[in-house]
């Protein structure tokens, strides 16, 4: 049986394109963005996990908020995947690849109350946000202002959702 190599390849397959970013830069960007794509696919499924399983007195607010975060992350997944392809790469965004590559912690499956989900969601958003911010700098170093701009938009969005989630815990007692 053929085994899928889920590691990020040193020299990923690239398509020819008239895009003027040099091929070596596009290959580096491809690897960088496929790592973020795996994280984002994982993050999106974690938001649904929270949306489905949260319970407690703040149920409806958190249930609906986690669904909105999921929708936002779905759009980031699409933006990242499509930029990979625009630069001649292959977007590797299946659940299996995401599971093997994601740098996020495993989402706890046995939690129920709102505070526990708020904490778990905030941690996942924060981890992804940090990596997205690092990707801005890495894309800058590869002279790709457009990918840097994409991750600026993504990380700014993640910061907003982190605020929406963490605000549930920040009121003075
Ligand atoms: Fe739903």
Cβ distance 114 to 144 under 8 Å? no
* Cα-to-centroid distance, 95 and ligand 1 (Å): 19
* Cα-to-centroid distance, 47 and ligand 1 (Å): 11
- As a whole number of angstroms, the distance between CA 38 and CA 8 comes to 11
- As a whole number of angstroms, the distance between CA 102 and CA 159 comes to 20
Number of helices (H) and strands (E), helices first, in the chain?
Answer: 5, 0
* Cα-to-centroid distance, 67 and ligand 1 (Å): 7
Short-list 50, 45, 39, CA closest to 122 = 50
* Cα-to-centroid distance, 122 and ligand 1 (Å): 19
Cβ distance 121 to 69 under 8 Å? yes
* Cα-to-centroid distance, 64 and ligand 1 (Å): 8
pLDDT digits (tens, 9 = 90+) for 145-161: 999 999 999 999 999 99
* Residue 145 CB contacts under 8 Å (≥ 6 apart), including other chains: 139
Task: Give the mean pLDDT of 23-50.
Answer: 97
Name the pTM for this structure.
0.94
Tell me the pLDDT band of 10, cut-offs 50, 70 and 90.
low
Short-list 142, 32, 147, CA closest to 86 = 147
* Cα-to-centroid distance, 68 and ligand 1 (Å): 10
pLDDT digits (tens, 9 = 90+) for 109-159: 999 999 999 999 999 999 999 999 999 999 999 999 999 999 999 999 999
What is the maximum alpha-carbon separation in the chain? Answer: 59
């Amino acid at each position: 049986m053929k085994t899928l190599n889920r590691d990020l390849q040193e020299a990923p397959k690239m398509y020819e394109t008239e895009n003027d970013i040099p091929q070596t830069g596009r290959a580096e960007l491809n690897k960088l963005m496929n790592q973020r794509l795996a994280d984002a696919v994982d993050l999106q499924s974690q938001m649904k996990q929270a949306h489905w399983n949260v319970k407690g007195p703040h149920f409806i607010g958190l249930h609906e908020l986690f669904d909105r975060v999921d929708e936002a992350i779905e759009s980031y997944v699409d933006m990242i995947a499509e930029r990979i392809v625009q630069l001649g790469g292959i977007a590797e965004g299946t659940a299996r690849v995401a599971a093997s590559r994601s740098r996020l912690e495993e989402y706890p499956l046995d939690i129920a109350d709102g505070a526990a989900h708020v904490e778990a969601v905030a941690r996942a958003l924060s981890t992804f946000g940090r990596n997205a911010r690092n990707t801005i700098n890495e894309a800058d170093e590869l002279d790709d202002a457009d990918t840097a701009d994409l991750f600026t938009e993504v990380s700014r969005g993640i910061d907003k959702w982190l605020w929406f989630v963490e605000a549930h815990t920040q009121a003075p007692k």
